[in-house]
């Protein structure tokens, strides 16, 4: 029971703490919905036209989902670490049997739950409001591990940001600095054909790219792009899984021990 | 208490960016002992607790329950950090259950809450952020007790707790020590340390400058007992007292007679009476642990709390013919 019990206790405490911060709950769900309403309903796409949002509506579903799997774990795990440091909670936890890896796993599970629900809302809103046509098949179930693995990955990155930042303000600034470039340069809202040729290898370095392409392979009938963009959902899922394992490992080591 | 050493530091050293926090600290704490650590702010108390609990790395030998501090059996250790702030929107009951859930075995939550005086549902089911300052600290203490530890580290446990709650917590710690729990306590309250600790260590600038029972420390470092005689024109009594063999310092409307034992009080009073010197009050004060603290830390300064003043505060044993004026006594002490 030991390990499971410890993770359960930490997960339960983290879940309660999150759900009782109403502002955090509201904005966790409100922010991605706002993006869908602004870009999907107000701006709207112009299939065949030039510039941004020139693709069909379904093309942008990975971008909307990316906002929740990217921003939320980065800021939530980073902020949680900052709060723990402020309250000397890691100092206390270091004298309990809970390990740093177990701590990060517990908080990752909370994020998987929260972001899973948020992703479901985004998916429903995009299909209902923008009229995006999503090909329905059993393969759509692969969206679940794609979202979960992306959350694991960015929880690990969030732990690193929490470690290197010295305050909650610092965490927010750092997570925005990391997330904003990733969001727009990972084959999400900005299609690769809008970027200079020389920059495309950089797109392939972003872990979010594999989430985006994996989701697009499942939800968009005519995937476009070059290089790895042509990989199927399973291949992108596998790459994402490998990156998630690495990021989680690094994040677990980065969780402070005695502060 | 037995002779088994459960907390051990040998030549412990720690620096932060060149600032020395621990400078060769060595100590042993025996099983079932309550060890009190005192010292000014920045003396290294919290760093020593962290080094002993393995939450910061330090040079030297640091052992806890027979293992290197960082490798000790965590289920046997309880810690209350100095500025601990647990999740604010968990109730006291949820907090204790949460920390209890991190161990394979833990005490019933309600029992732990009862131990710290938070048994009432209204308290136990209130979010931590809505508890009073004292209740918060008691909830934090509860999180250190929930795993029924063999060694308990409490870094200023009673800060912010009202006198009744503080005494209740002292009784609890007494009971824990009686049951064999080793308690390592830091505090700025000399009353607390004198009341609880079997032995006391005094840290100054990262060095452990004195260790012993409270009585030993007072005897070795507390300085002499003294008699303060107050009244108008009391300076006339200085010569008769000196003639009787006492050392006397003259202050404003008072005489401070040093190194007076209880048996000599009568001689001093007789010397004044024989000389026809009247007085308004006589105050005799024994040295206390606070005197030891002030002397060894070099924190005695004019116009502030001093041995005489601290005794008036209730720490010392006072044979009072009449309760003296602490400020006046303090001034006289400082001038001497």
State how far the Cα of A73 lies from the Cα of A182, in Å rounded to an integer: 14
The pLDDT of residue B300 is 55
> Residue by residue, what is the 3-state secondary structure of B282-325?
EEEECCCHHHHHHHHHCCCCCCCCCHHHHHHCCCCCEEECCCCC
The pLDDT of residue A259 is 66
Kindly identify which residue of chain A lies nearest to residue B94, measuring between CA atoms. Answer: A13
* Tally of residues, chain A: 259
Task: Average the pLDDT over A140-165 and give the result.
Answer: 96
Percentages (nearest 5) of helix, strand, coil residues in chain A: 80, 0, 20
3 state DSSP class of B86:
coil
The pLDDT of residue B36 is 96
Q: Looking at the complex, report in whole angstroms how far the Cα of residue B5 sits from the nearest Cα belonging to chain A.
A: 19
pTM: 0.84
| Listed residue (B167, B204, B222) closest to B37, CA to CA | B204
The pLDDT of residue B126 is 95
What is the β-pairing status of strands B182-186 and B151-155? parallel
Among A95, A97, A107, A168, pick the best mutation site for testing chain B contact (most B Cβ within 10 A).
A95
Has residue B228 got a pLDDT over 60? yes
B246 in contact with A, Cβ within 8 Å: no
Task: Average the pLDDT over B149-167 and give the result.
Answer: 91
3 state DSSP class of A70:
helix
Residues of B in contact with A17 (CB under 8 A): 87-90
pLDDT tens digit sequence for B31-67 = 999 999 999 998 999 999 999 999 999 999 999 999 9
| Listed residue (B84, B42, B79, B83) closest to B64, CA to CA | B79
Residues of B in contact with A21 (CB under 8 A): 89
CA torsion B170-B171-B177-B180 (nearest 10°) is -150
Kindly identify which residue of chain A lies nearest to residue B81, measuring between CA atoms. Answer: A92
Domain assignment present for A184: yes
Residues of B in contact with A255 (CB under 8 A): none
Could you tell me the two tokens for B213? 């029972």
* Chain A residues with at least one Cβ partner in B under 8 Å: 1-2, 5-6, 8-10, 12-13, 16-17, 20-21, 86-98, 257-258
The pLDDT of residue B25 is 95
Could you tell me the two tokens for B332? 């006289």
State how far the Cα of B83 lies from the Cα of B137, in Å rounded to an integer: 10
CA distances (Å), origin A46, targets A129, A132, A135, B266: 16, 13, 20, 106
Domain assignment present for A164: yes
Has residue A226 got a pLDDT over 60? no
Contact B102 A20 (CB under 8 A): no
B159 in contact with A, Cβ within 8 Å: no
Q: Which DSSP letter does residue A148 get?
A: H
State how far the Cα of B165 lies from the Cα of B150, in Å rounded to an integer: 23
| Listed residue (A65, A250, A62) closest to A157, CA to CA | A250
Residues of B in contact with A90 (CB under 8 A): 55
Has residue B174 got a pLDDT over 70? yes
Q: Looking at the complex, report in whole angstroms how far the Cα of residue A111 sits from the nearest Cα belonging to chain B.
A: 17
Mean residue pLDDT across chain B? 85
Q: Which DSSP letter does residue B258 get?
A: E
User: How much of chain A exceeds pLDDT 90, in percent?
Assistant: 64
Residues of B in contact with A10 (CB under 8 A): 98, 101-102
Contact A95 B77 (CB under 8 A): yes
Kindly identify which residue of chain A lies nearest to residue B69, measuring between CA atoms. Answer: A95
C-beta neighbour count of A194 within 10 angstroms: 11
Domain assignment present for A259: no
Task: Average the pLDDT over B255-269 and give the result.
Answer: 87
Q: Are A105 and A7 in contact (CB under 8 A)?
A: yes
- Positive or negative: CA dihedral A50, A52, A58, A59: positive
Residues of B in contact with A258 (CB under 8 A): 50, 54-56
Task: Average the pLDDT over B294-317 and give the result.
Answer: 47
| Listed residue (A76, A168, A92) closest to B95, CA to CA | A92
B83 in contact with A, Cβ within 8 Å: yes
B76 in contact with A, Cβ within 8 Å: no
**A226 vs B332, which has greater pLDDT?**
A226
Q: Looking at the complex, report in whole angstroms how far the Cα of residue B153 sits from the nearest Cα belonging to chain A.
A: 10
Give me the residues paired with residue B64 across strands.
B7, B67
State how far the Cα of B40 lies from the Cα of B294, in Å rounded to an integer: 9
Q: Name which of A9, A17, A86 is nearest B102 (Cβ-Cβ).
A: A9
**A56 vs B41, which has greater pLDDT?**
B41
Contact A17 B89 (CB under 8 A): yes
The confidence band for B332, taking pLDDT boundaries of 50, 70 and 90, is: very low
Quote the ipTM score.
0.88
Give me the residues paired with residue B285 across strands.
B226, B318
Task: Average the pLDDT over B293-311 and give the result.
Answer: 54
Q: Name which of B89, B102, B143 is nearest A98 (Cβ-Cβ).
A: B102
* Tally of residues, chain B: 336
The pLDDT of residue A144 is 96
Q: Are B202 and B297 in contact (CB under 8 A)?
A: yes
What domains lie within chain B, and their CATH numbers?
5-212 (3.40.50.300), 221-335 (3.30.70)
Domain assignment present for A153: yes
C-beta neighbour count of B239 within 10 angstroms: 13
| Listed residue (B190, B163, B218, B201) closest to B305, CA to CA | B190
Among B47, B70, B78, B101, pick the best mutation site for testing chain A contact (most A Cβ within 10 A).
B101
| Listed residue (A158, A150, A63, A162) closest to A115, CA to CA | A150
Domain assignment present for A189: yes
Give me the residues paired with residue A88 across strands.
none
Has residue A138 got a pLDDT over 50? yes
Has residue B325 got a pLDDT over 50? no
Task: Average the pLDDT over B85-104 and give the result.
Answer: 96
Q: How many domains, chain A?
A: 1
Residue range of the domain that includes A106: 2-254
The confidence band for A23, taking pLDDT boundaries of 50, 70 and 90, is: confident
B106 in contact with A, Cβ within 8 Å: no
Q: Any idea which of A10-24, A103-117, B36-50, B278-292 has the lowest mean pLDDT?
A: B278-292
Has residue B274 got a pLDDT over 70? yes
Contact B104 A2 (CB under 8 A): yes
**A169 vs B94, which has greater pLDDT?**
B94
Q: Looking at the complex, report in whole angstroms how far the Cα of residue B71 sits from the nearest Cα belonging to chain A.
A: 10
What φ, ψ does residue B21 adopt, rounded to 5°? -100, -35
Q: Looking at the complex, report in whole angstroms how far the Cα of residue A35 sits from the nearest Cα belonging to chain B.
A: 30
Could you tell me the two tokens for A193? 């054909």
How many A×B Cβ pairs under 8 Å?
88
């Amino acid at each position: 029971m030991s390990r499971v019990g410890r993770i359960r206790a930490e997960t339960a405490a983290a879940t309660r703490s999150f759900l009782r911060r109403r502002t955090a709950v509201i904005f966790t769900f409100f922010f991605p919905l706002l993006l869908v309403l602004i870009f999907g309903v107000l701006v709207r796409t112009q299939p065949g036209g030039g510039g941004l949002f020139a693709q069909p509506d379904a093309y942008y579903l990975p971008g909307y989902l990316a906002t929740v799997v990217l921003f939320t774990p980065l800021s939530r795990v980073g902020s949680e670490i900052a709060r723990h440091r402020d309250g000397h909670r890691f100092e206390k936890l270091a004298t309990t049997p809970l390990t740093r890896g177990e701590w990060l796993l517990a908080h990752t599970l909370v994020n998987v739950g929260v972001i899973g629900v948020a992703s479901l809302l985004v998916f429903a809103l995009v299909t209902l409001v923008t009229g995006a046509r999503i090909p329905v098949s059993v393969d759509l179930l692969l969206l679940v591990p794609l979202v979960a693995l992306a959350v694991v990955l960015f929880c690990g990155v969030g732990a690193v940001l929490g470690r290197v930042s010295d305050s909650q303000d610092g965490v927010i600034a750092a997570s925005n600095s990391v997330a904003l470039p990733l969001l727009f340069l990972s084959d999400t809202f900005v299609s690769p054909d809008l970027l200079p040729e020389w920059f495309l290898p950089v797109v392939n370095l972003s872990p979010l790219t594999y989430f985006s392409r994996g989701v697009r392979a499942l939800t968009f009938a005519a995937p476009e792009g070059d290089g790895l963009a042509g990989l199927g959902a399973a291949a992108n899922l596998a790459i994402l899984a490998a990156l998630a394992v690495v990021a989680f490992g690094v994040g677990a080591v980065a969780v402070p021990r005695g502060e | 208490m037995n002779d088994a050493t459960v907390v051990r530091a040998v030549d412990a050293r720690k620096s932060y960016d060149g600032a020395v926090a621990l400078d060769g600290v060595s100590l042993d704490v025996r099983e079932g002992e309550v060890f009190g650590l005192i010292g000014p702010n920045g003396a290294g108390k919290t760093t020593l607790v962290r080094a002993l609990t393995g939450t910061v790395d330090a040079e030297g030998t640091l052992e806890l329950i027979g293992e290197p501090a960082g490798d000790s059996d965590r289920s046997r250790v309880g810690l209350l950090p100095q500025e601990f702030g647990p999740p604010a929107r968990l109730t006291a009951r949820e907090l204790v259950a949460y920390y209890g859930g991190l161990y394979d075995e833990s005490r019933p939550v309600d029992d732990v809450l009862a131990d710290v005086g938070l048994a009432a549902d209204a308290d136990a089911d209130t979010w931590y952020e809505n508890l009073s300052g004292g209740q918060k600290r008691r909830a934090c203490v509860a999180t250190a007790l929930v795993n029924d530890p063999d060694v308990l580290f409490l870094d200023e446990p009673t800060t912010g707790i009202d006198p009744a709650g503080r005494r209740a917590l002292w009784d609890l710690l007494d009971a824990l020590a009686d049951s064999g729990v080793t308690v390592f306590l830091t505090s700025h309250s000399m009353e607390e340390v004198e009341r609880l600790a079997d032995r006391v260590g005094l840290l100054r600038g990262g060095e452990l400058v004195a260790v012993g029972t409270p009585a030993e420390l007072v005897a070795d470092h507390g300085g002499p007992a003294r008699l303060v005689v107050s009244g108008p024109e009391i300076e006339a009594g200085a010569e008769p007292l000196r003639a009787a063999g006492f050392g006397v310092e003259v202050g404003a409307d008072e005489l401070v007679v040093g190194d007076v034992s209880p048996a000599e009080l009568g001689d001093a009073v007789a010397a004044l009476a024989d000389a026809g010197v009247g007085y308004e009050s006589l105050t005799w004060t024994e040295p206390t642990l606070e005197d030891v603290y002030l002397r060894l830390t070099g924190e005695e300064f004019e116009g502030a709390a001093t041995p005489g003043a601290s005794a008036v505060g209730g720490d010392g044993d006072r044979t009072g013919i009449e309760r003296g004026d602490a400020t006046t006594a303090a001034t006289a002490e400082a001038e001497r």
